[in-house]
Amino acid sequence: MNNPLRNLFNVIVIVLALTVAFLFYHFVMGNPANFKDGERRREPVPGNILGTAYTGGPLVAVLIALSLISITFVIERWLSLQKARGKGSPEQFLTEFQKLLEAGKVEEAIALCQRQGGSLANVLLAGLQRYQQVAQDSSLDAERKLAEVQRAIDEAINLETPLLEKNLVILSTIASISTLVGLLGTTIGMIRAFMALGLTGAVSAQQLSIGIAEALYNTAGGLFTAIISIVAYNFFTTKVDNFVYTIDEATLSMMETLTVQVKQ
């Protein structure tokens, strides 16, 4: 999938999340049945969670959208990393691959990579295919042949690594933004609560409850979304780092084996 299509997917996810969130906020949470004063939507029915959360203001909808975006990209990253592992166990694949390579069975090793698929197999496949091209080239010495193989491996890694790290920046950004949005909602809610006191000159339980609800629901929403995003970001970052390390180890082992064979 090329970059424009990936960017289009991200845009579609964000637009759909915002649309669904605001529709849910307005028509479900803002349903007049959730409020004692109906269409005014100022006094939630006691114990009605949707109506009470609605009083948190439009920023509640923004936080819902951020949560949906975060959950969507958590699922997308999980599926992508599972695909990057290939069709079988990477450990078993590497063991079988190394045995074939040490036995000089390059064609069988290439066929194994093609069956396995995934980022690791793609990188090894690129190196082996380049090795096949230069192995019988008498105009190149052993060092040049190995350099060509290494170059093909580096190019493949440069193509695969961005796919592994794709959209992680979105999760980290949402973790920061959701916290700030929640803090903004908290601030606005407290301002509303104190304005109610200043305008009436007396304590208005209704206005205070609305302001405090806006503050607390936005705080809770921001923290909830941030926790999901931070945990997911750290989890996937660790998975990607481990996977890249496995690729580096596998390519180093392959190069060592090919070095012995080329210089024989």
Structural domain range at position 137: 88-165
Task: For the chain, give the percent of residues with pLDDT over 90.
Answer: 59
Higher pLDDT, 58 or 197: 58
CA distance linking residue 27 with residue 193, whole number of Å? 26
Helix then strand then coil, % of the chain, to nearest 5: 85, 0, 15
> What does each C-alpha distance from 128 to 78, 95, 112, 156, 184 come to in angstroms?
29, 16, 11, 12, 55
Collect all residues with Cβ–Cβ distance below 8 Å to 139 and sequence separation of at least 6. none
Burial 216-250 (b: 16+ CB within 10 A, else e): bbbbbbbebbbebbbebbeebeebbeebbebbeeb
Residue 204 covered by a domain:
no
CA distance linking residue 59 with residue 181, whole number of Å? 7
> What does each C-alpha distance from 181 to 42, 104, 218, 221 come to in angstroms?
22, 59, 8, 9
Residue 211 covered by a domain:
no
> 13 near 73, Cβ under 8 Å?
yes
pLDDT tens, residue by residue, 144-167: 989 999 999 999 999 999 989 989
Residue 115 covered by a domain:
yes
What pTM was computed for the model?
0.86
Tokens (6 digits) for 42: 């100022």
Residue linked to tokens 């996810």: 13
Residue 237 covered by a domain:
no
Residue 23 covered by a domain:
no
Residue 119 covered by a domain:
yes
- The model's confidence at residue 48, banded by pLDDT at 50, 70 and 90, is confident
Residue 14 covered by a domain:
no
Number of domains within the chain: 1
Residue 101 covered by a domain:
yes
